[in-house]
Amino acid sequence: MRSFMGRDILSLKDFERNEFFRLFEICDRLAPIARDRRNTDLLAGKTLVTAFYQPSTRTRLAHEAGMIRLGGQVTGFADAKMTRAGDFYQESIKDTVKMLEFYGDVIVMRHFQQGAPHEAAKWASVPIINGGDGWGEHPTQILTDLYTVLTEKGRIDGLRWLAVGDMRMRTMHSLAHGLTQFDCPITFVSPPDMSLTDEFKEEIKGYSLDYKEAEHVEEAIADADVILVEPVVQPDYTKSRDERGEDVGMTPANYKITRELLETKAKSDAILLHSLPRMDEIPPDVDITRWSRYWQEAFNGVVMRMGILASILGAME
């Protein structure tokens, strides 16, 4: 198995099956620290740099919280507009990371341009973690989701997935790549103008993903062991910031998971994931149901980032 030490985490296309399990095992060992709200000194003397060119609550703060739990330090920016990349100079990724690499030992980057973290990795002498790049990928979120499935269901292989939302989303791309390493058939349900692109379908053809597409969640929910939902009412991910306008659409019933739908159609032991933030695709009355696992997913988001940071900085080799 390849070592995680010094490695960039850019895409789940890069991940081999045994590497998923190795990372999950490391997360199992670190989870008690987060659960007990303790800090350790595993990464004492190491610094994480957060370079966020797009808004984030979870991804940035879960990386920061994970680093702090492991005894490391954090520096960085959450508003690129206050850096030289976001003003008159529009400083390039290359010039920016040639600075950031001296400010810490690992960089987590979110960017509105697909491929920006890959460009950063070309120039940086420290590992780069992709915290979401445009419509590209969001590998650490789907690692979190797969780990949540493992902890909640005891296995990943043999489970049927239903993914609902905008299939152009970076999470959906990472999900499709990730599931190629498991025995997990998946049904994608999305509005026609948000379906898997022909280009992406061509790309995953080579990876034997067992998938089909459906028009309405009601067609697919009864078979699903894992239901993963993302918004269909959402911002433009190619922009650094997309403010909410006057007219915000409502999620059509085809892409909505309601309490009634779960109670009448879903398997009683299915689990419901959402990386959040949400619009109205999962109403709040679903939160306190036996299907909901998004708060566990949020906790696991910290554990997974601890696992990634400890692995790539060589503390858990």
Stretch that binds ligand CP, among 35-43, 53-61, 95-103, 210-218 (CB under 6 A): 53-61
In the bound state with ligand CP, the residue whose beta carbon lies nearer, of 214 and 298, is 298
Distance, in Å, from the CA atom of 288 to the CA atom of 263, rounded to the nearest integer, reads 13
CB of 275 to ligand CP, least distance (A): 4
Instruction: Give the 3-state secondary structure of 103-143.
Output: CCCEEEEEECCCCHHHHHHHHCCCCEEEEEECCCCCHHHHH
Shortest distance, position 94 Cβ to ligand CP, whole Å: 25
Q: What share of the chain is helix, strand, coil (3-state, %, to 5)?
A: 40, 15, 45
Q: Closest CB to ligand CP among 50 and 160?
A: 50
58 touching ligand CP, by CB under 6 A: yes
- For ligand CP, the binding residues in 115-144 under the rule CB under 6 A are 132, 141
- Taking alpha carbons only, the member of 244, 295, 290, 251 closest to residue 274 is 295
Nearest partner of 302 among 130, 64, 4, judged by Cα: 64
- Could you say which of 276, 280, 296, 314 contacts ligand CP (CB under 6 A)? 276
Say whether residue 274 binds ligand CP (CB under 6 A).
no
Q: Is 151 in the site for ligand CP (CB under 6 A)?
A: no
By beta-carbon proximity to ligand CP, the closer residue of 144 and 190 is 144
Q: Which is closer to ligand CP, CB of 167 or CB of 316? A: 167
275 binds ligand CP (CB under 6 A): yes
Nearest distance in Å: CB 128, ligand CP: 17
311 binds ligand CP (CB under 6 A): no
- Answer for the pair 43, 30: CB distance below 8 angstroms, yes or no: no
| 11 contributes a contact to ligand CP by CB under 6 A | no
Task: Identify which of residues 32 and 235 has a Cβ nearer to ligand CP in the complex.
Answer: 235
Cα distance between residue 256 and residue 23, in whole Å:
32
300 binds ligand CP (CB under 6 A): no
By the 8 A CB rule, do 165 and 281 touch? Answer: yes
Q: What is the DSSP string of 153-201?
A: HS-STT--EEEES-TTSHHHHHHHHHHTTSS--EEEE--GGGSPPHHHH
Give me the least distance between CB of 144 and ligand CP, in Å please: 9
Pick one of 18, 57, 75, 264: the residue that binds ligand CP (CB under 6 A): 57
Indicate the angle between helix axes 17-35 and 139-153, nearest 10 degrees: 80
Contacts with ligand CP by CB under 6 A: the residue count is 8
Residues in a beta bridge with 130: 109
Q: CB of 58: closest distance to ligand CP in angstroms?
A: 4
Contact 195, 240 (CB under 8 A): no
- From residue 144, alpha-carbon distances to 10, 58, 158, 316 in Å are 15, 12, 19, 18
> Is 148 a binder of ligand CP (CB under 6 A)?
no
**Residue 75, strand partner residues:** 49
Rounded alpha-carbon distances, angstroms, from residue 270 to 38, 68, 163, 225, 293: 32, 34, 13, 4, 10
Contact mark string toward ligand CP, 231..250, x via CB under 6 A: --------------------
Q: Which of 9, 46, 50, 56 binds ligand CP (CB under 6 A)?
A: 56
| Nearer of residues 3 and 57 to ligand CP, judged by Cβ | 57
Q: Which residues bind ligand CP (CB under 6 A)?
A: 56-59, 132, 141, 275-276
